[in-house]
Amino acid sequence: MFKKNRRSQQPLLISDINDLPGRSLEHLKGFWADTFRREVFLRIPKECIAVLYDQDPSQPNVPVNVLVGLEIINEQLDLSDEKVYECFLFDL
């Protein structure tokens, strides 16, 4: 079942990022992850893949932009699938 992922378009109310000191937050904004989010992650077209999902009620899908983003990072950094998944789960 396909569901649009709107969570990536708004900041989280409670987040570790909100607790970063100003200098660290500025460093994060200049880091590759912020550019990746803005220039790649938010531009991944999700609706064109919706036809691949069953229309019957079922468990919601993992957001497509998350899966595609992980694949892009996997290829760019030449990591194993296990390492990318581990980083996805545990890296801030």
DSSP character string of 18-81: GGS-HHHHHHHHTSHHHHHHHHTGGGS--GGGGGGS-SSS-SPPPPHHHHHHHHHHHHHHT--H
- Taking each helix axis as running N to C, give the angle between helix 22-29 and helix 32-39, from 0 to 180 degrees, rounded to the nearest 10: 50
pLDDT digits (tens, 9 = 90+) for 32-65: 888 888 888 888 877 777 777 777 777 766 777 8
- 0.85 exceeded by pTM: no
Domain boundaries, the chain: 17-90
pLDDT at residue 83, as a whole number: 92
Contact 57, 1 (CB under 8 A): yes
Q: Name residue, tokens 């803005």.
A: 38
